Structure 1
Amino acid sequence: MNIRKKWIIYGIGLPLVLGGCVNMDNANGNGVDEKKNTKDAVEDQSDRLVTVQEYNGEGFYLENGQENDKIAEANREEVEKAVTDFFLEQYKTDVEVHNIVGNVDGASVFVESIGKPNFHTYAVVPIDAKGKKILTDQVYSLEGEVENAITSGVYGLVYEDEFNELDKVLAEITSDYPFTGETTQAINNTKSFGFGNEYYFVSFFDMELSQQIVERYLENPDLSKEEIKELNLEKLNPKSINITIQLFKNKKDSNPTNEELDEIAKVIDEAEGLPYGAYNLLLHDNMIGKASGSGDKDNTVERADPDYIIKK
């Protein structure tokens, strides 16, 4: 799976480095190695999977982070303050801390911006494991991670009406077809995808324009839609803006079909008033991996890069 497709499926910036060394072969994007031996493959998976309706992020973890997770939880107030101060100082953004997960070097802290623009992202708080000390003066984010989340959030704000229309279309789809989205708790506790909700998230791939948006945001976090529209986002190649829709079957032991994929893709393709961009559509079964927070499996069906649904 190439890096662009990983971003499409799992959310901007989430793969590879949620604050530490991870296995480059893992496919879930959260540092969890899903390679299993033959015995594991045939064992009952009930202890590793949970229905999408029940999943709230419990059991989510990052590789080699168990010890640091304990240290971070024992010092939760200190970790939360360090992260909220970091976002306020570096990005002029008030955030709410949703989840703290130990990683090999410290703790990855999942946050959501307070107010608009709305986005999910994370920062890393290093930990001196030997001294069991929280290094509050060394908080950092992966290069481009928060910036991409901000750009995604600003795009969601500028096209707020169009995204409201997309929400209505997806609500109708999940009413007409046996599908549902993720829980709010799962999103808060396991995702760093920028702007999105239980059905979709937005990824921005024009780095030059992203930098312009972030610069304007840092100058004035309360910037208006009109100020951003001055950048002429409509002139972008729609493939520079990916809107990834992920739906889950609403009942156990039920797999998505290619027929359902084609029908739902047609509904989205024919819908009017949706946000500008290139749409990826992924249909999963009803189960999510507890540790990875991912629903992607061999039975997932998708219409994605390069076969986008283009909305202009």
Structure 2
Amino acid sequence: MNRKNKWIIYGIGLSLLLAGCMDNASGNGVDEMQDHSDRLVSVQEYNGEGFSLKNGQENDKIAEANRDEVEQAVKDFFLQQYKTEVEIHNIVGNVDGASVFVESIGKPHFHTYAVVPLDAKEKKIMADQVYSLEGEVENAITSGVYGLMYEEEFNELDEVLKEITRDYHYTGETTQAIHNTKSFGFGNEYYFVSFFDMELSEQIVELYLENPDLTKEELQDLNVEKLSPESINITIQLFKNKEDSNPTKEELDEIAKVIEEAEGLPYGAYNLLLHDNLIDEVSGSGDKDTTVERADPNYIMKD
């Protein structure tokens, strides 16, 4: 996978990822030439309502009519396959079934999803065939474990970003929007973490499956900092807190400098995206022509 696109695919592009993987003949399912200005809402008001996946309308109705069965099938899947209890946040129809967005209960903490296939003709849930896209849950677990390993450092990052949003008049996404539209692993209203060293990721997942109640002390031998910082991406997304206000290159440079100079932040390579106040209610994305960014290969490095 091209590194330039990895952090976008793992964290932001839920509709792109799911539509693309489930409907390969149709590309990524997004018509970039179409004007979607009528779908834009203020980020402070967006709670994920309206979020949808390509060609999923009919399956969405079937899944909702069988919601209890869908939820139980997904909870069983995560317990059996990943020894993880999850909370169900949203069920969204896709071309092949229903994508179910979940949050792990307790620590390590992460957001991810699973797919429940449906028989549209019979309007039937195929509860014994629940699956996830290859590497999706594993990446979420790995980033969640990383968040636990560097818990104090992420708390410091939270404080730095709260100060930035206050000083530069930005905000993050709502908790409801994250629950209902994101599968980015470990993260919050300001950022998410993606892990790209497959060898260490496999080691972390193996440890997690042996003991899902891992403590920070049990993870000390992993020696994550032997990796290149580019193996761990921390993608920060901030939105202007008022409508009709656009981010500027000057703000981008100043905020990047604050992050560069901050001490005690998590090890990794940081992408920084600044959006205006609006978010697409269907795709859940804030990316548009007004967005300014500092990203791969021009990371903000913390090593």
Instruction: With the length of structure 1 as denominator, give the TM-score of the two structures.
Output: 0.92
Aligned to 2:132: 141
State the distance in 2 between where 1:310 and 1:170 align. Answer: 16
- Cα shift at 1:197: 0.1
> How far is 1:20 from its partner?
1.8
The answer (yes or no) to whether the contact 2:196–2:232 under 8 Å persists in 1 is yes
Q: Does 1:126 align with 2:117?
A: yes
* Cα offset, 1:9, TM superposition: 3.1
Count of matched residue positions in the alignment of Structure 1 and Structure 2: 300
Matches of 2:104 and 2:56, distance apart in 1: 25
Alignment partners' CA distance in 1, 2:69 and 2:49: 22
Deviation at 1:11, TM superposition (A): 3.2
The residue aligned with 2:18 is 17
| Distance in 2 separating the partners of 1:25 and 1:54 | 30
CA distance in 2, matches of 1:6, 1:78: 35
Checking the alignment, whether the CA contact within 8 Å between 2:4 and 2:297 is kept in structure 1 is no
**How far 1:227 moved relative to its partner?**
2.0
| Aligned Cα root-mean-square deviation (Å) | 1.6
Gaps of 5+ in 2: none
Over the matched positions of the two proteins, sequence identity in percent amounts to 78
The equivalent of 1:219 in structure 2 is 210
Displacement of 1:23:
6.8
User: Paired residue for 2:268, among 270, 277, 291?
Assistant: 277
Q: Give the conservation status (yes or no) of the 8 Å contact 1:10–1:294.
A: no
- Between the aligned partners of 2:2 and 2:224, the Cα distance in structure 1 is 24
Alpha-carbon distance change, 23 to 165 in structure 1, aligned in 2, over 3 angstroms: farther
- The alignment status of 1:70 with 2:61, answered yes or no, reads yes
- Of 272, 276, 282, which aligns to 1:291? 282
Deviation track 1:118-161 (CA, whole Å, cap 9, x = no partner) reads 00000000000000000000000001100000000000001000
> Which residue of 237, 244, 255 maps to 2:246?
255
Q: Deviations over 1:81-108 (max 9, x none)?
A: 0000100010000000000000000000
Q: Which residue of 2 aligns with 1:35?
A: 32
Could you give the per-residue CA deviations for residues 15-52 of structure 1, whole angstroms, max 9, x where no partner exists?
Answer: 433662157654xxxx4x13345xx47xxx2x311000
User: Displacement, 1:298?
Assistant: 1.1
Q: CA deviation at 1:224?
A: 1.7
Counterparts of 1:234 and 1:271, CA distance in 2: 18
Q: Mapping of 1:1-312 within 5 angstroms?
A: 3-9=2-8, 11-12=10-11, 14=14, 15-17=16-18, 20-21=22-23, 26=28, 31=29, 33-37=30-34, 40=35, 45=37, 47-312=38-303
Distance 1:139 1:106 in 2: 10
Which structure is higher in helix share? Answer: 2
Change beyond 3 A, Cα 1:233–1:24: farther
TM-score (norm 2): 0.95
Deviations 1:153-173 (A, max 9, x none): 000001000000000000000
How many Å separate the matches in 2 of 1:296 and 1:25? 19
Conservation of the 8 A alpha-carbon contact between 1:68 and 1:129:
yes
Residue type of the partner of 1:303? R
Q: Which runs of 4+ in 1 moved over 4 A?
A: 22-26
Output the CA distance in 2 between the equivalents of 1:308 and 1:23: 34
Q: Deviation string for 1:253-288 (max 9, x for gaps)?
A: 111000000000000000000000000000001000
Q: 2: distance between equivalents of 1:23 and 1:302?
A: 31
Give the deviation of 1:225 after TM superposition: 1.1
The Cα of 1:178 is off from its aligned counterpart by 1.2
Q: Deviation per CA, 1:203-242, whole angstroms, max 9, x where unpaired?
A: 0000000000000000000112122220111111111000
Flag the 1:140–1:212 CA change in 2: closer, same or farther, 3 A. Answer: same
User: Aligned equivalents of 2:282 and 2:3: distance in 1?
Assistant: 23
Instruction: Say which SS state the counterpart of residue 17 (structure 1) adopts.
Output: helix
